[in-house]
Amino acid sequence: MGQEIKIRLMRKEDCEAVEKIECACFSTPWSLESIGEVLQYETHQFLVAEVNSEVVGYMGMIKTLDEADVTNVAVLPHMRKKGIGELLVRESLKRAREEQVNTVFLEVRESNVGAIHLYEKFHFIPISMRKNYYKDPLENAVIMSANLSTIK
């Protein structure tokens, strides 16, 4: 890619950029207010990816005891296929492991083969299906989990 990708914790001033990413990537994006609210909780870990000081991707995770749930992983469409999503997942899982998280769960659209392959790189495995979980378009969610002790 030739450009340095920086992964860091999300800050208040990143909320508008994250909202833009939400709108570009999801049919039912989070509101600016909802994005800002996540910064209030110690259990919420949201990371952003920066290229040339521009926020181009983010990943959210919510920790509950020794488990965590991924909220979203998103990268601006024109910045995909450059390893940004992989860097976000790697750093987020590393931080979760440091906080004694053992298991991470996520939902992904059944048709999102690229994301499923990304998660499989980090030893996520399908454990269940949620029928008609996603709207616009209506689609099933594959529920995946990873045991962080198996991830290097």
Amino acid at 114: G
Return the bridge partners of 73, or none: 59
Return d(Cα 12, Cα 16) in angstroms, integer. Answer: 9
Q: Which two tokens stand for residue 53?
A: 């000081």
Sequence-distant (6+) residues with CB within 8 A of 127 are 143, 144, 145
C-alpha–C-alpha distance, residues 88 and 74, integer Å: 9
Distance CA 88, CA 60 (A): 9
Active site residues: 107, 119
Mean pLDDT by 10 residues, the chain (152 residues): 86 97 94 95 96 97 97 96 96 95 97 95 96 92 93 64
Query: In whole angstroms, what is the distance from residue 106 CA to residue 101 CA?
Result: 14
Q: From CA 152, how far away is CA 147, in angstroms rounded? A: 11
pLDDT at 2: 65
State whether residue 36 is helix, strand or coil: helix
The DSSP annotation for 69-128 comes to: EEEEEEE-GGG-SSSHHHHHHHHHHHHHHHTT--EEEEEEETT-HHHHHHHHHTT-EEEE
pTM of the shown model: 0.93
Report pLDDT for 1: 47
Q: What is the pLDDT of residue 40?
A: 94
Measured distance CA(23)–CA(145) in Å, rounded: 26
